[in-house]
Structure 1
Amino acid sequence: MGQSHTRSHHSDASGNGGSDSPSHPLNYSQSKRNSACLMKLFQKLELTADEDNCHPGELSRSTFESAFHGPLDKFGKLLYLQMTHNHGNHTRERITKEQFVKSGKEIIKMFDEAVQLKYYFHLFSAGKDHMNKEDALQMINVSYALTLSASSIPFNKTTKDEQVFPAMVQSMFGMNENLTFDDFKQWTHRHSPHIFCGVHNWVYTIMTGSKMPEEQEVVAPVPLLERFVEGKYCMCMGMLWVLSTVLPQSYTSTHTDNKEECSEASSSSTKNPLLTSYMIIMKLARLSKCQSWALLYDSTEHGLSQNRFAHHVMSYQGPTMTLVSFEGRNVYCIAEDRPWREGTQKFGDVDSMLIQLTPVYRVIQSGGALVQWNEHSRDVKKGIHVGKDSKSLVLFIPSDFDTVEHYHIPNEIHKIEVWGCGSEKAKEAQVQQRKWEYKNAEKHQTRKLHLDTNWDENPDKQILQWGGINVDHQYSRDGGF
């Protein structure tokens, strides 16, 4: 399993992130600032209320919920219930400024992922002690939409996403009809530890009008794909989001700094008091940019063969994400934190992972050497071996690349993709290495034996003789002796 990256900063036993009392001047000052931000947001939401609103200092339920549009519509309803702390039949139809600020401050102080997990589970289950499959699917769809918004990525949903999200629900529930918090906590610990990271970053940004402080932010951004065209590749945005909830930061860490961009967006969104709540949401929702992934190999474009695979993947000195799609709607992801290499030894370190994305989402194996790629040794089957136990491989791709053995059962390969997750320097270094190899190969191809020179002094003679070829008699027939 990937490393958790959970950051708990001086949280008290209740998980509130510290005391607000004056004896803690920094916390008290922060609390006052948060209260001011929440009151300002409350006032902006009041501007969107109907003209006949006759309850100053209060927001109606409909006004609060109308601030959320499209895929966020359901989330607005659930957040209202959670903030009013009333999930029974007698739903409170109005929320006061005091209740809004108090509930908002409780959310803002949740810096521990364990506390966030419990809060948002109860939010998406509408306060129940369990969640049904419909609740879970709604939770996944909303979490996906909020994370994209927080990452400044336009919302998009395709048929491939429709396959990935139910695969997550199937993984959570198994044969059960309901899911308790304890079961959900156990599932997320292994398969999706950062499932609510984007959700909480989004909510925090909306409520405070600024990006979460770096020392308190749990980073799980959605990777950017270079020249990505939805529908062209095996990878889709839904898969990217799912992977962002489980992958270690070595695959997504950013190499850019966009603090000024976030600051500018935040300040510009608070200057105009007439901004609608939806515009506030779209203006303020920002996260740090994520490391871009570069497409290294696409079997549809480059050809489904081991030689083409090697040509495009070798010499890339960075972590990679390899997708293998085959019959049965199976899509596997091989997350390798070490460069691909050929040989009889397996490779992979602490951040390596083997993940099944569909038809059931789950982390199969993680941590340590997972992959072996043999092209030459006769002692090991030639091809790509995937799995920690060599006697019980999860995947095996023979050297001819015409099938994939899934737990020793042959299946037809549909597609293989490899995405480079390193920095731009890793991609540039690979390009330079390819150019050098091409020039070197071209140099050897144009090289000829010059028989009009002293053959005994020609280095090509010695090279050929080392290879077991007797060249003396051939030269003598040409009159050399």
Structure 2
Amino acid sequence: MGNHHGHHKSADNTPTSFGSADNASRKSIPRNGSANDLQEKPLDQMLPVERLTKILTEKAQTEDNVNGVTQNVFYRYLFPKYPQLADKLFKYFLENSKSTKEYIPTSSFRQQCEKYLAILDDSVILDIWVKMWSTFSEEKGSHQMTSEQFSALLMCAYVVSMDHYSGGPQMCLSINKTLKAVVDGCFHQKQSLSSQYVAHWLADNVFRLLLPLHRYAVHSIATAWRLIEQNEQPESTGVEHTLPMTPTGLELTTPVLEQSGPFGQGKNSHPHLLTMSMSWLLAGALPALYSRPQRASSPNSSAAGSRRTSAGLASVSFLSKIACAIPSHWALIYDSDENGLGANRFLHHVLGYKGPTLVIFKVENNQKFCIASPCEWKESHHYWGGEGASVFQLLPKFQLLEKGEEKGQKLIYLNTSVRGYPQGLRAGSDPRAPIITVDGGFEKIEWQKIPYYIETIEVWGCGDQVQRERQLEVKKWEVKEAEKQRAVKLSAADWLDHPDRYLLELAGRPQYHQNQT
């Protein structure tokens, strides 16, 4: 895939700059579209796209008797586990190739792959994927997307991420509720919207949500030729492949129960506020600072391990990083259902954690809010938390309420001790009209000038394991120091003047003299 990086500004332009090695190799490759011309160059000296084009053309000639790439071959050998993704991407290539047939000619397929691999602009990526799932309206003269199409796009992105989760393929039980919140937040009860509006909404609210889906498609196009060479008939044998360039994993209709891992259930068997699907959504809405995932394993990693090569092992780690958008390292550092609800309990468990955090509030009427802090929490009568801080409404609809885009912008306020200043927690750049206000006792939250009783608060640490261990070590030291203060021994002279002695005497305890036994 690295052979195709270039500077690109639009989805329709071909890459204009490549490395010197690429230029040298591309000059020696014939550019006409026949399969015979492709055979003139030794296969091991071709670029990845050339290799893939040659292989898929040969498969189409054998199976479909056409000189090009058919949808059937594109699906079976590139995305055998994701038929919807294969269908949308093939139709996108077919439409842009201007082909009047049901298949893509060899030269056109090669050109479309090269164009797609050269796309680097995130906004162009969002536009392309939204248009793939939308329908062109002759009446309005533009692509229109329905809420059902938008939900299908989100589900496809979610399934690809879940299939490459570090704990293995799995499905969240609350995925439908999460997707409905996103659809309601974007469509506002409308039946359809322009694809341009949907792409802009994604860029403003969850700008990284579809990027792993694009990177997965790029990786598959650039590396699938290796697996095809090793497995001549990947679908007919019924054996699932272990190399990650194949989109292996869950079938779309096979959900797996939510596990008791980082987004499962608490100690008292109550579900966490931050579910697996909601963590995927927040990871797509927040900067990369929050979601640096640990090294993940590829799905089906235990099957047919003897067939895995060293190149395949390296690709496992790479694909896990680009395709998995669900962080596996988020740790629960405060749960009000287990640790108690109150300002002092919040401060005790949260202060001292030096990594970024997510504070999830569940209030009346099943509403959820989230405050994302990019740095350590602190008590102060000044606002803090600039670039990277965000405020979200999670349920009943998902929307980004405000985010810190500038380094000097302050969004978070926490004060429980300084007199003369507002007590409690606040989020919002305008101190006179904060978006969210939590009272000093952490009992009520106010949003849009309407107070709600707080039911549960969770705080998730998004830093690495070392930051969590250091916080726990500091708390252990504090507990030991407190125990030492309780066990201080007083001398006889100190006890004679100690106020506790007079309190005991007032309560009726007799006096003891040195001559008494």
Whether the TM-score (by the shorter chain) exceeds 0.5 is: yes
Q: CA deviation at 1:146?
A: 2.5
Task: Give the counterpart of 2:85 among 52, 75, 79.
Answer: 75
Partner of 1:349: 386
Matched, 1:238 2:311: no
Q: CA deviation at 1:192?
A: 1.9
Partner of 2:197: 183
Partner of 1:28: 23
1-structure distance, mates of 2:329, 2:291 = 8
Once the two structures are superposed, the pairs formed by residues 19-418 of structure 1 within 5 Å of their partners are 19=16, 25-28=20-23, 36-41=47-52, 53-55=63-65, 57-66=67-76, 68=79, 72-85=82-95, 92-126=101-135, 129-149=143-163, 154-174=168-188, 176-209=190-223, 227-229=262-264, 232-253=271-292, 285-287=319-321, 292-367=329-404, 368-418=409-459
- Conservation of the 8 A alpha-carbon contact between 1:172 and 1:179: no
Q: Deviations over 1:216-271 (max 9, x none)?
A: xxxxxxxxx9744278311122222222222112212367799xxx9xx9x97689
Q: CA deviation at 1:427?
A: 0.9
CA 1:30–1:370 in 2, change beyond 3 Å: closer, same or farther?
Answer: farther
What is the percentage of aligned positions where both structures have the same residue?
23
How many matched pairs? 432
TM-score (norm 2): 0.70
2-structure distance, mates of 1:162, 1:35 = 44
Q: CA deviation at 1:412?
A: 3.0
Q: CA deviation at 1:29?
A: 5.2
1-structure distance, mates of 2:45, 2:85 = 22
Q: Which amino acid aligns with 2:434?
A: L
1-structure distance, mates of 2:458, 2:45 = 45
2-structure distance, mates of 1:251, 1:204 = 24
Q: CA deviation at 1:401?
A: 3.3
CA 1:29–1:14 in 2, change beyond 3 Å: closer, same or farther?
Answer: farther
Partner of 2:242: none
Q: Which amino acid aligns with 1:451?
A: A
Partner of 2:229: none
Name the stretch that deviates more: 352-361 or 231-240.
231-240
- Conservation of the 8 A alpha-carbon contact between 1:35 and 1:105: no
Q: Secondary structure at the match of 2:492?
A: coil
Q: Secondary structure at the match of 1:442?
A: helix
1-structure distance, mates of 2:23, 2:290 = 37
Q: CA deviation at 1:37?
A: 2.3
Matched, 1:11 2:8: yes
Q: Secondary structure at the match of 1:404?
A: strand
- Conservation of the 8 A alpha-carbon contact between 2:293 and 2:321: no
Q: Which amino acid aligns with 1:236?
A: T
2-structure distance, mates of 1:10, 1:347 = 38
CA 1:123–1:453 in 2, change beyond 3 Å: closer, same or farther?
Answer: closer
Q: Secondary structure at the match of 1:287?
A: helix
2-structure distance, mates of 1:18, 1:350 = 33
2-structure distance, mates of 1:60, 1:451 = 96
- Conservation of the 8 A alpha-carbon contact between 2:135 and 2:144: no
Name the stretch that deviates more: 75-84 or 289-298.
289-298
- Conservation of the 8 A alpha-carbon contact between 1:48 and 1:63: yes
Q: Secondary structure at the match of 2:331?
A: strand
Unaligned runs of 5+ in 2: 30-43, 137-141, 225-259
Q: Secondary structure at the match of 2:386?
A: coil
TM-score (norm 1): 0.75
